Amino acid sequence: MFLLRWLRRLIKTILWLVVIVVLIPVVGLAYGFLTTPAFDKTPLPGITDGAPPAQLAAKVRQAIPDYQSPAPSAWLAYLKWATVHAAHDYATFVDKDQPSGFPYWDYVGHYWQDYATIIRVTSARGIDILDYVAPTLIGTGLTIDYAIQWAYENTVGRITEATAGKRVAADIYQAKAAGDHAVFLDTRPWSNFPYAEERAGLFAVEPAAGDDSIRTSERKLAFGLADTVKQWCADLGKSALAAAGYPSPPDLHVWAKGPVGEAARNEPDTLLERDLGGAGTIFVTSRSQAFTGMVPRLIDKGISFVEIGGKDEIMITATSGAEITAPDGSRILFSQPIPVSPDTRRTALTVAVRKLHLVLPALAKAGAELEHVYADD
């Protein structure tokens, strides 16, 4: 009888957990749609200016495998990178402050608001419903992760903060590990991060003089457990992708005009692919944060863009101290203060690719700094 009651409670608990997990994206997107404005669906001015001849564009797509990225990838990519931006913000915050003060729920709310905006944008482009699966899983995972962290850090974490009275060596180690994790995510998927090595490093930390033993033990236990779970999830995810034969992301093909050969000569992971004469040059590069850093350098050397990933419209984000106005050839999707730095705003814009060489200098002149070009999926 006892075993039967225990089994019923276990099944009931599992069912409740399933219901909660299912409700997270439902509630999150409801919040997102209710708190964000409708999107202007009219064609972006300037998007057709300077378009290559249709016959040449079709020939390029036929001749170069993987030249054309999926139509909505530029916007959906932001949702993956939103978690990377959050990781950087977290690392910046805990470098000086305790993690209990991090605004976890602000980042969760922003994700679902941004996701709602992205859905409005991509739904007008005939997106496949299956393309929303990954962003939904990412948002659900972020919500669960941050909810657990918030609850723990503001209960047990607050107590051990009080007993310690200062940051201990384990806190400092975890702050550095958070920075390493954020930098890692700029170029590689989270599942490749060595969480087990991070855990081993944490366990090896020796307390500094005056460190509180309770805080030290609690940090090692809590973050050691978290790294164990993350390593298990990472291994599981990699095994699932390998079993499914999931291919690595293809390289990014960029069609540009100007002195492309000279400008791209010293850029990392970049090769000239096809010379189209007066119509420009196509080069291939990796899909990572490195491409974002490359774009302004190429523009400074006289490069303009025809297509990026086979698209004539792309998404970027920029940070600034004040609200900015969208330059000609672009449209603001959303703009919001960064939770850990309210005096800095993150603004997302849709940009006509053939206006990118004009838009970025205009943003820089207005005091905005390019954060990321979303050319990957």
Share of the chain above pLDDT 70, in %: 94
Q: What is the pLDDT of residue 11?
A: 77
Lowest mean pLDDT among 54-58, 133-137, 264-268: 264-268
Q: What is the pLDDT of residue 226?
A: 94
Q: What is the pLDDT of residue 17?
A: 77
Q: Given a cut of 90, is residue 42 above it in pLDDT?
A: no
Encode pLDDT of 316-357 as tens digits.
999 999 999 999 999 999 999 999 999 999 999 999 999 999
Sorted by where each begins, the domain ranges of the chain are 54-73+248-374, 75-244
Q: What is the pLDDT of residue 342?
A: 93
**Is 214 within 8 Å of 164 (Cβ atoms)?**
yes
User: Mean pLDDT over residues 228-241, rounded?
Assistant: 84
Q: What is the pLDDT of residue 95?
A: 95
Encode pLDDT of 77-133 as tens digits.
899 899 999 999 999 999 999 999 999 999 999 999 999 999 988 887 766 778 888
Encode pLDDT of 128-175 as tens digits.
778 888 899 999 999 999 999 999 999 999 999 999 999 999 999 999
Lowest mean pLDDT among 70-74, 94-98, 151-155, 205-209: 70-74
274 phi/psi in degrees, rounded to 5: -155, 130
User: Mean pLDDT over residues 212-222, rounded?
Assistant: 95
Q: What is the pLDDT of residue 236?
A: 86
**Is 297 within 8 Å of 370 (Cβ atoms)?**
no
Q: What is the pLDDT of residue 202?
A: 95
Average pLDDT value for the chain:
89
**Is 360 within 8 Å of 328 (Cβ atoms)?**
no
